[in-house]
Amino acid sequence: MSHADTPPHVVLETHGLTKRFGGLVATDDCALEVHSGEIHALIGPNGAGKTTLLAQLSGELLPDRGRILFEGRDITRLPVHGRVAAGIARSFQITSLFNRLTVRENLALSVQARTGHSFDFLGTVEDESDLETGALEAAERVGLLDVLDQTVGTLSHGRQRQLELGVALACHPRLLLLDEPMAGTDPEESERMGTLILSLRGRHTVILVEHDMDAVFRLADRISVLVAGRLIATGTVDDIRRHPEVIAAYLGDDEESEGRAHPLPGHTGIGA
């Protein structure tokens, strides 16, 4: 996607990022570079440390070593809410919404976080037009305008996944971390989610962790491959498809049973 003559603008970079859980190295000296406006997929076999890496980017986990720079600023020690304020929002692999609240309220809470006043104890909340506007804008982007006043718990799984994305979008992030946005969706819902993610390109920088390889190869501008905590390759879709180490990691793992290792589309004849 990037033009060959202009050097890409790096939005997020990690240097020597390392995280250990006891003897297990979940993130091993990772140097990730994400360019402005791209959809950057993070793939790897199960247990490769994708979710752990994402958690360090979002601030839920602190790395043992290494640094994270966002737009040139060191955010390694910034707490989760500080990173949201800096412009990074995430969605969860397992839908985590306010199930007893309406879609509108879910979205408005994101807007309130961004517009502040949450320590305004006594301020009357008469003028809520900012929340209303922000909630409607986000609902429109993820196609949930028709269920604004429905309680989240009553929505279908696919719609909850859309809201999961909408809640993150309502934070107005410049960088979006999407943790398996298609998890558990049926083909039709997955298709809709794919279209949604494509619509983000250019407006947001996206880091996408996804198990559905067809989707990854369709959506991503660039791909980074994690194996056992190590970043073994980063490149365009074509680069990755041909990368010998990647092929070995995905296809050479005999003990990995179905659903654990994912065949690369284009190599096995599926998709792309």
269 binds other proteins (CB under 8 A): no
Least spacing, CB of residue 88 vs other proteins, in Å: 10
> Which CB atom, from 2 or from 102, has the smaller least distance to other proteins?
102
Candidate list 19, 104, 204, 262; residue touching other proteins; CB under 8 A: 104
Candidate list 80, 145, 198, 248; residue touching other proteins; CB under 8 A: 80
101 binds other proteins (CB under 8 A): yes
Candidate list 17, 108, 142, 233; residue touching other proteins; CB under 8 A: 108
Q: Provide the token pair at 216.
A: 């990854």
204 binds other proteins (CB under 8 A): no
8 half-sphere exposure, CB direction, 13 A CA radius: 18
> Which CB atom, from 108 or from 208, has the smaller least distance to other proteins?
108
In whole angstroms, how far apart are CA 259 and each of 45, 46, 187, 213, 268? 10, 9, 17, 11, 15
Is residue 43 helix, strand or coil? Answer: strand
Binding-site string for other proteins from residue 38 to residue 67, where x marks contact by CB under 8 A and - marks none: --------------------x-x-------
2 binds other proteins (CB under 8 A): no
Q: Provide the token pair at 190.
A: 């997955």
Candidate list 26, 48, 53, 131; residue touching other proteins; CB under 8 A: 131
Nearest by Cα to 177 from 86, 89, 93, 63: 89
Q: Provide the token pair at 108.
A: 């408005």
Q: Which long-range contacts (CB under 8 A, 24 or more apart) does 159-165 make?
A: 160/95, 160/97, 161/95, 161/185, 161/189, 161/193, 162/192, 162/193, 162/196, 163/97, 163/103, 163/106, 163/107, 164/91, 164/92, 164/95, 164/96, 164/97, 165/91, 165/193, 165/196, 165/197
Residues 162-191 that bind other proteins (CB under 8 A): 167-168, 170-171
Number of residues that bind other proteins (CB under 8 A): 45
Q: Distance between CA 162 and CA 193 in Å, rounded?
A: 7
> Which CB atom, from 62 or from 198, has the smaller least distance to other proteins?
62
**Strand 205-209 and strand 175-179: pairing?**
parallel
Residue 187's contacts (CB-CB under 8 Å, 6 or more residues apart) are none
Least spacing, CB of residue 233 vs other proteins, in Å: 29
Q: Provide the token pair at 57.
A: 């980017």
> Which CB atom, from 33 or from 105, has the smaller least distance to other proteins?
105
Least spacing, CB of residue 135 vs other proteins, in Å: 9
Binding site for other proteins (CB under 8 A): 58, 60, 79-81, 84-85, 89-90, 92, 96-102, 104-105, 108-110, 112-114, 117-126, 128, 131-132, 148-149, 151, 167-168, 170-171
